[in-house]
Amino acid sequence: MEFKKTILLAFTMLMQVLHAQYSVNGKITDGDNTPLVFANVILYNNQTNKAVDAMATTDTGTYFFEDQKVGQYRIEVSMLGYNTSVSKVFKLDSSRTTFTLNFSLQSEQLDEVIVTYKKPIIKQTAEKLIVDIEKSEMINTNLQDVMKKIPGVIVTNGTINYGGQGNIRILINGKTTDYMDVAALLREMPADNIARVELIQQPGAEYDAEGSGPIINIILKRNVKLGTHGNLKTTMGYVEDFLYGTSASIASYKNKLNWQTSAGYNRSSWREDLIISRKVLDETYQQTSISPFDPETFRINGRIDYYINDKNTLGVSANRIQSQSDRITSNSTTIINETSETNLLTDNSFDRDRITFTLNPYYEFDDQKNKVTLDFNYIDYDYENENNLFKIDESPIEYNNQRYFQDATYEIFTYKGDYKRMGNDNFSWGAGAKYSKIDSDSDLQSFTQNEEGVFVDNVSQTNRFLIDESILALYSKFNAKLNKWSFSGGLRWEESDTKGTSVTQAETRSRTISKFFPSISLGRKIANQISANVAYSYRIQRPSYGSLNSFVYYYDPFTFEAGNPNLKPAFTNSFQFNLTYEEQPFFSVSYRETTDALFEIITQNDVSAETSRSVINLAKNNNLSTSLFAPLDFIEGLDGFTGVIANYNEYMSERLTPALDLSQWSFTWYTSAEYKLPWGINSEISGYYTTGGLEGQIEYKWIAGIDIALSKKFLNDRLKVSVELEEILNRKFLGNITYDNVNADIVNDWPRQNLYLQLNYSFGSKFNKNKKRGNVSKEEQDRINNKN
């Protein structure tokens, strides 16, 4: 036995000597003798003319190939922006076991790279639909334009639904926007910063379990261009009034340092009209609110990444957004009965100032097989609002003027760590942990003007509400492939501790939730181009902080909103089946069942004639949806897609008196298409039509929209001029509420036939480089009500 061990050891040592004694190394520099990092070095066997090894140069510009066989070789070195260099043939044998070869690459004098036309790439997986618009020539002025490129997503007056499904949450780079005004975000966020959009229908374990409907995750562009480059953009338009905006960005990627910064100013113009006609006993109340406003937004952001070496990266990003809006809403209430007609006119003045600051440092290790990400995110949000509701002109209806000061501050600290292991192309495994700490302070001060003209504290409405919440989450997930099968499974555990304190009422309520949230998907390739997959997820929807605050807030003399501190979280079981063709969506069926669903209910007091809006827990909400999708590239010269979605919504609750039972089918058609016109003009059209549906309690009628846009490039493709005509159809939102004693017709109107002109000028380098950090922290931190 000892003899066999000796022979085996000797044989092993001999093999190591025979295979380890030949090596090639060297250093790559530029014309100034500066080491070039991440240059591509390929070792070729000259007899077979095949590449036998390859690597990227280290942070010192060096390369090395070990354990090479006896033979003749040559080396090829390349790097974007430099001339490719090829060595002479050299020999490795007993006379020369180590060969050292240094290269000095010369800059390549190239014309600017012209980015050619490319349509958005749409890809469907078991968990999400991905729309890649980074290299698309489609005309996108703002985030609202980008949303229209997502199949089935409908945007109407700052609200979003997916083929009739509501409760959609928007994330930016995986982080929440719940504390933002979504309508303002859609209008004011520039589209040129967006790389792709993900419609996440079945969130995996790596995402927070928060939410009951689809998630829209907006992935921002990262600088991957060598050298220094920038962009100047100006937008002008007319939406009820003239609007304009301008922005500038600059970025640089040299050696180990990659940084980018941008700043912008935007003055929007908008108007919203709301008309409500309702019966109160034997009287009819006709309420009209006309609300024009011109918000101003200032934003500045920056990011820097430092590549320590090819495996380790440090980075930090910061962002500040300030939005100011002065606005006067004119309210008119006409009370009609059989013998008389009485009018009450009031104005509602708003003075709003919102400031959001975010800071996100990170560290990343990636050696192609193991990836570790440590991520910290800080959000500071301040909101100030003064609202005066006062009577104008003479009216026999008694009304006391009111004044509100509503201030809110939020601080969110999030710590997150992720690990991912790539076993091979057929298996990967990951795990992570996240801890969030949220402190919020909402202060509503309400005053009523007395007969002497003095504003006195309205103690029944004034309320200061504090929330202290912490959420700890742990998750694990793995993906596997075997022949035609694919599998993904994950488990997430979350424990949230929430304490809400009403300082005014001297009352504190606490809530602890500890629960597991599983997710799973299974797919199979049926044919060369057709695949099927089925997915399941379990999720929670916690009440927003604003809805838990027991405030009362008036929008006009007869309409107010009230908080509900007794709200419980809702839980959703979600199932989905997909058929894909060439990884694009083709057919899908989904079903969601939510218990204790959060539902916004409208009630009416027949004595005071007031209507109130508040959030309650329903017994159940069921949603069934099916969709068909088809590309349009089978038509010569046309690129784009079209599709239809059938959606069934049902809300049920026996806790209410009378019991609530609402249900309705809705059908939605959508399309987005591009066509190359003569003279290099790119044209596009997008549109939708829906038969109507349910928006909470409101049953609305059909609604449709069409947008048309043209663009052309000048000055060697550096200047892009775009013209867009938005909302060509003049179709208002028409709805009706019939529940208990509420019988109301609703008309909601917003600007149509809006015109935009955009000038976009790019300068500097256009050379790309494949070194960028992947997205981390793909979930949100809180559920702050966007009205706060």
3-state secondary structure of 233: strand
Q: What is the CATH number of the domain that holds 400?
A: 2.40.170.20
Over the stretch 435-466, which tens digit does the pLDDT of each residue have? 999 999 989 899 999 988 899 998 888 889 99
> CA-to-CA distance for 300 and 318, rounded, in angstroms?
8
CA 262-266-268 angle, to 5 degrees, is 155
Q: Which H helix or E strand runs over 723?
A: strand 719-726
Res. 654: pLDDT tops 90 = no
In a domain, 232, yes or no: yes
Comparing 85-94, 179-188, 608-617, 696-705, which segment has the lowest mean pLDDT? 179-188
Is residue 292 within 8 Å of residue 274, measured between CB atoms?
no
Grade residue 21 by pLDDT with cuts at 50, 70 and 90: low
In a domain, 443, yes or no: yes
> CA-to-CA distance for 538 and 544, rounded, in angstroms?
19
Grade residue 780 by pLDDT with cuts at 50, 70 and 90: very low
Q: State the pLDDT at residue 136.
A: 67
Q: State the pLDDT at residue 645.
A: 96
- Mean pLDDT value of segment 17-44: 76
Over the stretch 257-306, which tens digit does the pLDDT of each residue have? 999 999 999 888 889 999 999 999 999 999 999 999 888 999 999 999 99
Q: State the pLDDT at residue 589.
A: 96
In a domain, 109, yes or no: no
> Which residue range(s) make up the domain with 363?
227-764
**Count of other CB atoms within 10 angstroms of residue 738:** 12
Res. 68: pLDDT tops 60 = yes
Chosen domain end from 104, 125, 143: 104
The answer to whether residues 630 and 486 belong to one domain is yes
Res. 536: pLDDT tops 90 = yes
- Mean pLDDT value of segment 684-704: 91
Res. 788: pLDDT tops 70 = no
Is residue 786 within 8 Å of residue 181, measured between CB atoms?
yes
Is residue 458 within 8 Å of residue 445, measured between CB atoms?
no
Q: What is the CATH number of the domain that holds 52?
A: 2.60.40.10
Q: State the pLDDT at residue 116.
A: 42
The answer to whether residues 276 and 423 belong to one domain is yes
Res. 421: pLDDT tops 60 = yes
Over the stretch 635-653, which tens digit does the pLDDT of each residue have? 787 888 999 999 999 999 9
The answer to whether residues 92 and 239 belong to one domain is no
In a domain, 184, yes or no: no
CA 130-185-402 angle, to 5 degrees, is 145
Grade residue 135 by pLDDT with cuts at 50, 70 and 90: low
Instruction: Using the structure block, give the residue that is written with the tokens 């001297």.
Output: 506
Is residue 386 within 8 Å of residue 455, measured between CB atoms?
no
Instruction: Using the structure block, give the residue that is written with the tokens 């089978």.
Output: 634
253 φ/ψ angles, rounded to the nearest 5 degrees: -135, 100
> CA-to-CA distance for 327 and 184, rounded, in angstroms?
14
The answer to whether residues 91 and 240 belong to one domain is no
> CA-to-CA distance for 169 and 598, rounded, in angstroms?
14
Q: Is 2 left (phi over 0), alpha (psi -120 to 50) or beta?
A: alpha
Is residue 592 within 8 Å of residue 626, measured between CB atoms?
no
> CA-to-CA distance for 542 and 212, rounded, in angstroms?
10
In a domain, 505, yes or no: yes
Q: State the pLDDT at residue 784.
A: 31
Res. 16: pLDDT tops 80 = no
Query: Average pLDDT over the chain, rounded to whole?
Result: 85
The answer to whether residues 92 and 237 belong to one domain is no
Q: State the pLDDT at residue 15.
A: 44
Grade residue 108 by pLDDT with cuts at 50, 70 and 90: low
CA 699-701-705 angle, to 5 degrees, is 130
List, in order, residues 6 or more apart from 216 with CB less than 8 Å away.
147, 150, 153, 160, 168, 169, 170, 171, 197, 198, 199, 200
Grade residue 768 by pLDDT with cuts at 50, 70 and 90: low
771 vs 727, which has greater pLDDT?
Answer: 727
Q: State the pLDDT at residue 170.
A: 86
Over the stretch 569-588, which tens digit does the pLDDT of each residue have? 999 999 999 999 888 899 99
Q: State the pLDDT at residue 81.
A: 65
In a domain, 369, yes or no: yes
What is 383-433 written as a DSSP string? EEEEEEEEEES--SS----EEEEEEEEEEEEEEEEEEEEEEETTEEEEEEE
* Domains identified in the chain, total number: 2
In a domain, 713, yes or no: yes
Q: State the pLDDT at residue 114.
A: 40
Over the stretch 547-566, which tens digit does the pLDDT of each residue have? 887 778 888 899 988 888 88
In a domain, 185, yes or no: no
Over the stretch 320-378, which tens digit does the pLDDT of each residue have? 999 998 889 999 999 999 889 999 999 999 888 999 999 999 999 988 789 999 999 99
Q: State the pLDDT at residue 268.
A: 85
